[in-house]
């Protein structure tokens, strides 16, 4: 029983993308309670990813999965989840709150200036380019995939299950 890794990671990625999006929406308002809730959602994302990986192993792969295939499944799931989350972020940045990224940029610049670091115009220009909705959301995809790969390095060791050498 060999499961289609792309189909399964797309389905689970859709559900994970909803979690990613909820986490983003909850992290928008400032406040300690929102940070705490966002932290717990991040923990839920890790737990759900583990459960999806085990479910994929048991239901789609006949109860056995290699480290490499588990790693690929987790990274692909994070990739598809990141696409869903990026769409939500783009809609928010482009249409709902177009000033959000410029406000983040201004706050970041204040922090850098308070540290008395020298800023040239080139640095500010580069930061402005990175804070455009399309660029920012594309960056968020790759950041999430990278985080998914780091998680997969560890999680795949727990998900992998080799066939017993005495089974046929």
pTM of the prediction? 0.91
Pair of tokens at residue 23: 């986490």
Buried b (16+ CB within 10 A) or exposed e, 4-13: ebeebbbebb
Structural Rg of the chain based on CA atoms:
19
Q: Residue 1's pLDDT is what?
A: 43
Q: pLDDT band at residue 124, thresholds of 50, 70 and 90?
A: confident
Query: Does the structure show a pLDDT above 80 at 44?
Result: yes
65-123 tens-digit pLDDT: 999 999 999 999 999 999 999 999 999 999 999 999 999 999 988 888 888 877 788 88
């Amino acid at each position: 029983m060999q499961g289609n890794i792309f189909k399964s990671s797309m389905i689970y990625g859709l559900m994970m993308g909803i979690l990613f999006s909820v986490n983003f929406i909850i992290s928008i308002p400032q406040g300690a309670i929102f940070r705490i809730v966002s932290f717990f959602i991040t923990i839920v994302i890790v737990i759900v990813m583990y459960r999806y990986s085990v479910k994929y192993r048991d239901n789609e792969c006949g109860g056995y999965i290699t480290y490499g295939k588990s790693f690929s499944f987790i990274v692909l799931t994070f990739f598809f989840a990141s696409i869903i989350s990026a769409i939500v972020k783009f809609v928010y940045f482009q249409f709902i709150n177009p000033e959000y990224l410029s406000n983040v940029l201004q706050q970041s610049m204040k922090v850098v200036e308070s540290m008395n670091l020298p800023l040239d115009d080139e640095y500010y220009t580069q930061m402005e380019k990175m804070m455009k909705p399309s660029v920012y959301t594309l960056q968020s995809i790759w950041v999430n995939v990278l985080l998914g790969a780091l998680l997969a390095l560890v999680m795949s060791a727990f998900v992998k299950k080799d066939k017993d050498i005495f089974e046929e």
